[in-house]
Amino acid sequence: MPRPFALTPGEPAGIGPDLCLLLSRQAQPHVLVAVASRALLANRAAQLGLTIELHEVDPQALPQQPAAAGQLYVWDTPLAEPAVAGQLNPANASYVLNTLQRAGQGCLDGLFAGMITAPVHKGVINEAGIPFSGHTELLAELTHTEQVVMMLATRGLRVALVTTHLPLREVADAITGERLQRVTRILHADLHSKFGIAQPRILVCGLNPHAGEGGHLGREEIDIIAPALEQLRGEGMQLIGPLPADTLFTPKHLEQADAVLAMYHDQGLPVLKYKGFGAAVNVTLGLPIIRTSVDHGTALDLAGSGRIDCGSLQVALETAYQMAAASGR
């Protein structure tokens, strides 16, 4: 059995604590430790009308057997101030970062096989005077990782991104041969080492409509993308493309693919979210640790209501378990 997994509930005023509690109603196949405020979880359980036994654990002596249904292991991480469902409080920004740092460092130290994260609220952390751009950047800094890759996955489809959160007018300039090769190497390596795929087969989107139409609709495919892919094929990678994005996401192409590499955020993710919204997972590739996350936000308006779906968190857990098994953690 792999080492325990860390679960961070994210923004305390959001639905992250609710997700952790609702999920704990069913037994998990592996030891799962919520790195969170025990008081927060107890208060939210009472608000939701849930009877969940919260067992505080020592990180240096973590349990070896999964918790039973209706129980949750907790590495108590105190809040600065009591949290109210739906009401952001900048005073608790440091609490959110503490949970992430504890979980991430625990993975580096070998305490955890991987970490699963519920959504944070970037705005309130920045309002607290703490520069913060997201989970990915924090974990990259913690693990001293220069380059990471964002990949979203749902059952039957994985989509990785060459560029992520850029204005559309900046995307073309950001697509360089060097960047494309760096991202592709990370994607290929992690599909092999963390997903157990011996020879990953990756479909690569073109940047322009019709993949440039032979240069009539843009030359990025001819001048940048195709030469970069050809060099990578020389390293033994199975890369198909650049292909027109409007026809790539069809069964004929996808049925034999292990992943799709999209050039920008809204090229690949709308398709994936249409296919698996509520049951998709965000995976950070390139890190020396395993990190998966839900594909949705904090949903402040639903916190404490009980009207939420745990599907994305369940898929995030399952993906982390599979990655740990494939990489022998």
* Binding-site sequence positions for substrate: 135-136, 273, 282, 291
The residue with tokens 């916190």 is 303
pLDDT score at 63: 95
* Binding-site sequence positions for a divalent metal cation: 165, 210, 265
Q: What is the pTM of this model?
A: 0.92
pLDDT score at 1: 67
**What averages of pLDDT result for each successive group of 10 residues across the chain (329 residues)?**
92 97 96 98 97 96 96 98 97 97 97 97 93 88 94 94 93 98 98 97 98 96 98 98 96 94 96 89 96 94 93 94 92
DSSP assignment string, 256-293 = T-SEEEESSHHHHHHHHHHHHTTSEEEEEESSSS-EEE
DSSP assignment string, 169-208 = HHHHHH--HHHHHHHHHHHHHHHHHTT--SS-EEEEE-SS
CA neighbor of 245 nearest in space, from 223, 268, 226: 268
pLDDT score at 136: 86
**And the tokens for 271?**
């398709």
pLDDT score at 87: 97
* Binding-site sequence positions: 135-136, 165, 210, 265, 273, 282, 291
